[in-house]
């Protein structure tokens, strides 16, 4: 299913830079009839277009995810894009050293970056149209690649993204047995100007810090080029596959 033909899509994490940019990019497509915008505070997005259906959700609470999913009919969506994620907050920052690791930060990042996408997929997979080349895309990160880890550090974030990559693989196998046309993939958005990357932009090479709109545009093009033959794998903003 090409994004130019998509009619109904759910985007999770619409309060985030990339999540909002996905919503806006989808709303620019003439084929789009409805965007389900899931996030903690999705109401402002509904002001952009009457095609937006805002759905409040706390992705760290399965009951909230289940209730949010009930707003969407089964066999209804062309794609689900999960663009939520966390690297730091007031209490948590990426660890430079093993000595800085804590149980709290490990649990929090695993919860937001791995458990939440799994539970969102658990409740939203049935909303995807069956046998219609539907797509389930989850924002991961290149730093979750074990083979690509040359710098060390960022233990909790790296491990939580490696974990979500494994969950994507597992879901692609199980869900692919029920619908051979389904594509389940992880996406790396590049380095994107957002709250998440703000403290870490100093060393980004010129031209390599994307606006959220740029990144969402690249990722929709990448998704357009992917089909069920690519399921279970991780792809970057430029279409390059990232090894696990």
Ligand X SMILES: NC(=O)c1ccc[n+]([C@@H]2O[C@H](COP(=O)([O-])OP(=O)(O)OC[C@H]3O[C@@H](n4cnc5c(N)ncnc54)[C@H](OP(=O)(O)O)[C@@H]3O)[C@@H](O)[C@H]2O)c1
Contact 27, 8 (CB under 8 A): no
Residues 55-84 that bind ligand X (CB under 6 A): 59-60, 83-84
Shortest Cβ 132–ligand X spacing (Å): 26
Q: Which tokens is 3 given?
A: 């994004």
Site for ligand X in 131-150 (CB under 6 A): 139, 141
Contact 95, 109 (CB under 8 A): no
- Binding range to ligand X, per CB under 6 A, among 67-75, 178-186, 188-196, 216-224: 188-196
Q: Which of 113, 73, 80 is nearest to 11 (CA)?
A: 80
Window 200-219: contact mask with ligand X (x via CB under 6 A): --------------------
Q: Residue 9 class from Cβ within 10 Å (0-12 exposed, 13-18 middle, 19+ buried)?
A: buried
Residue window 12-31: x/- pattern of binding to ligand X, with contact defined by CB under 6 A: -xxxxxxx------------
- Tell me the C-alpha to C-alpha distance, in Å, between residue 123 and each of 35, 36, 59, 130: 17, 14, 11, 15
Beta carbon nearer to ligand X, 129 or 145: 145
Q: List residues binding ligand X (CB under 6 A).
A: 13-19, 39-40, 59-60, 83-86, 112, 139, 141, 188-189, 191-192, 194-197
């Amino acid at each position: 299913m090409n994004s130019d033909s998509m009619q109904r899509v759910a985007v999770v994490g619409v309060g985030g830079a990339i999540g909002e940019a996905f919503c806006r990019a989808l709303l620019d497509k003439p084929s789009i009839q409805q965007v389900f915008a899931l996030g903690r505070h999705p109401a402002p997005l509904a002001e952009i277009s009457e095609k937006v259906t805002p759905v409040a959700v706390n992705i760290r609470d399965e009951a909230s995810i289940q209730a949010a999913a009930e707003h969407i009919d089964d066999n209804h969506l062309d794609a689900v894009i999960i663009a939520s994620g966390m690297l730091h907050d007031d209490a948590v920052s990426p660890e430079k050293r093993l000595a800085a690791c804590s149980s709290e930060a490990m649990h929090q990042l695993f919860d937001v970056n791995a458990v939440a996408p799994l539970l969102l997929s658990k409740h939203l997979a049935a909303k995807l149209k069956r046998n219609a080349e539907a797509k389930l895309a989850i924002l991961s990160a290149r730093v979750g690649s074990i083979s690509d880890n040359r710098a060390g550090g960022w233990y909790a974030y790296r491990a939580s993204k490696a974990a979500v990559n494994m969950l994507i693989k597992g879901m692609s196998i199980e869900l692919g047995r029920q619908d051979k046309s389904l594509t389940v993939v992880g996406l790396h958005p590049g380095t994107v100007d957002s709250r998440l990357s703000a403290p870490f932009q100093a060393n980004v090479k010129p031209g390599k810090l994307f606006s959220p709109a740029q990144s969402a545009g690249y990722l929709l093009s990448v998704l357009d080029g992917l089909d069920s033959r690519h399921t279970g794998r991780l792809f970057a903003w430029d279409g390059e596959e990232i090894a696990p």
